[in-house]
Structure 1
Amino acid sequence: MPEPTPIPVEQLRFAMPPVHASADDERAYRKERLAGALRLFGEYGYEDGVSGHITARDPEFPDCYWANPFGAPFEGLRPDELILVNGEGQVVEGHHHVNQAAFAVHAQVHRARPDVVAVAHTHSVHGRALASLGELIEPITQESCAFYEDHALYDAYTGVVVDEDEGRRVAAALGARKAVILRNHGLLTVGDSVDAAAWWFLTMERSCQVQLAARAAGKPVLIEHRDAVTTREQLGSDLVAWINYQPQWRRIARTF
């Protein structure tokens, strides 16, 4: 029996970020992905009361952002339930309030980073635990190297953020990086797509969990600087984040 003939590479399927012909198409896509990411975060237990937000910039109005409604559960959230909020925190589409405390940070991060489409921040357990130590993620695993020299610590806690000045300070601490640890508070990640921002949050939370577990068990061995940088260059782009997120998206998309 002859050996099977290899299928030409160009005939194999490999998902890449889509390009949309209109702002309406892009808006529908972002809202669907945003609702999916929120459902996924709910599954992972990142929801804590009314705390937590993922926001996505509108493709037509760059200073307006789609967000989850205040007080609505992440589980089962639909795209048509999302609200559109302008940079001043005013709801311009939808029928629910926005969490002003969370949005004070998100709006300033979006404004400081025009390259960012989505911002994710929730009160995940391991992110809060590491944040309480006021430390950065160490390069102790392949996954944690994605954040090596590409995340920051906002080394302050002043209570619930309700003003623009505090939001601007968080945005300044983030700078051009993909993530920031808010001391005594939790994690915040950004991306050039909802998928990327969501993936960075998922893998950052896991990196916090691994770091805490490894430290409890002994003394973690750090990956050397050069190898950590090389690994970050291989795994640390938003495109790689988007690709890594697709199995999560395909699973959660079945719930729509």
Structure 2
Amino acid sequence: MGSIVTERSNTCPDADQHHAEKTPLQLISQGVCLPGIPRHPTFTAQRKWTLEQMALAFRVFARKDFTDGMAGHISVRDPENPHTFWTNPLAVHFGILKASDMILVNYEGVPIGGNMSRPANAAGFLIHSAVHQARPDVDAACHTHSPHGMAWSAFGRPLEMLTQDAAYLYGNAQAVYKDFGGVVLTEEEGKKIGDALGNKGKGMILQNHGLLTVGSTVSEACFLMTLMERACQCQLLAEAAEANGLTKVYIPDESAKYTFENSSDAETLYWEGQPDLQFEEHMSKGEHKN
């Protein structure tokens, strides 16, 4: 296997450096700065770490009740062969998935590596393959049928800028796919979903369906899924309160934009997802690595 870039570090600037010179990760780190996103010295090491992160993300989704029969999937682009991606086996509970369970497929939908004893989800393949082909910058994508995500999707509307968390999806970072055509079993439907995300989208509401998030790491895409689900829950609670006479107060556009610009970069969102993944690693006692 060839080599890739080793881990980057993020050194916080001196206290007298101007605020504008700091990265979002440096701004949130008071004192010693959190390091950058890990990069391992070989493709083999990077792949192993990525698949372990993927298994932990599924366990996060299980603990947060994002499971729904055979629905839901995560995909991660292979670090060495970017025209292929890893995904979960069909009909295995998120809460018991391990790195060795994942299946490597190409853009033609052919399983070419990993766990060959189980099929992948056909609908999941069509969605994720379209997203990965449309967005070379996306390494990970998540789709779930989470309860509040499904409930809010029935309105076919974007999340409003009601909370600081919702502002992580400010502007064209959020999309809505309104052309629901049933279970995704055709390449055309998958491509329409990929196109609807746009070239800047981080999260998308699939009308009458659920949620989709993407990121440059599993941790980022996983965190954005948990953020979107909570934002949908808050939106539904706010709608109910408004129906009973209260008035919603929106975040000013300038403040929402400022929050997005200082919170939604790849490094910060990677670290936003790490606490949940760390907890699952602790609880699994290493089982996710097998």
- Specify which of 190, 202, 219 is matched with residue 214 of structure 2: 190
Paired position in structure 2 for 1:56: 76
Mapped partners of 1:229, 1:10: distance in 2? 23
Deviation per CA, 1:63-103, whole angstroms, max 9, x where unpaired?
21111100111112110111111111121122210110121
Paired position in structure 2 for 1:14: 34
Tell me: CA distance 1:107–1:227, structure 2 relative to 1, closer, same or farther (3 Å): same
Deviation per CA, 1:170-217, whole angstroms, max 9, x where unpaired?
111101211111111111000000000001111011001001111111
Mapped partners of 1:79, 1:137: distance in 2? 33
Q: Contact 1:15/1:243 (CA < 8 Å) preserved in 2?
A: no
Paired position in structure 1 for 2:231: 207
Shift in Å, 1:234: 1.2
- For the residue of structure 1 that corresponds to 2:261, the secondary structure is helix
Paired position in structure 2 for 1:236: 264
User: Are 1:67 and 2:90 an aligned pair?
Assistant: no
Match for 2:67: what amino acid?
E
Q: How many residues align?
A: 248
User: Are 1:92 and 2:76 an aligned pair?
Assistant: no
For normalisation by structure 2, the TM-score amounts to 0.83
User: Are 1:139 and 2:161 an aligned pair?
Assistant: yes
User: Are 1:46 and 2:66 an aligned pair?
Assistant: yes
Unaligned runs of 5+ in 1: 1-8
- For the residue of structure 1 that corresponds to 2:112, the secondary structure is strand
- For the residue of structure 2 that corresponds to 1:55, the secondary structure is strand
Unaligned runs of 5+ in 2: 1-28
Mapped partners of 2:163, 2:271: distance in 1? 19
Paired position in structure 2 for 1:4: none
Matches within 5 A, 1:146-185: 146-149=168-171, 150-176=173-199, 177-185=201-209
Paired position in structure 1 for 2:45: 25
- For the residue of structure 2 that corresponds to 1:75, the secondary structure is helix
Match for 2:192: what amino acid?
R
Q: Contact 1:89/1:98 (CA < 8 Å) preserved in 2?
A: no
Shift in Å, 1:15: 4.4
- For the residue of structure 1 that corresponds to 2:262, the secondary structure is helix
Shift in Å, 1:243: 1.1
Mapped partners of 2:108, 2:222: distance in 1? 24
User: Are 1:246 and 2:274 an aligned pair?
Assistant: yes
Q: Contact 1:105/1:170 (CA < 8 Å) preserved in 2?
A: yes
Mapped partners of 1:13, 1:188: distance in 2? 30
- For the residue of structure 2 that corresponds to 1:40, the secondary structure is helix
Shift in Å, 1:121: 0.1
Q: Percent identity?
A: 38
Q: Contact 1:137/1:148 (CA < 8 Å) preserved in 2?
A: no
For normalisation by structure 1, the TM-score amounts to 0.93
Mapped partners of 2:108, 2:166: distance in 1? 35
Match for 1:55: what amino acid?
S
Q: Contact 1:54/1:120 (CA < 8 Å) preserved in 2?
A: yes
Q: Contact 1:34/1:194 (CA < 8 Å) preserved in 2?
A: yes
- For the residue of structure 1 that corresponds to 2:239, the secondary structure is helix
Shift in Å, 1:12: 4.8
Shift in Å, 1:16: 3.1
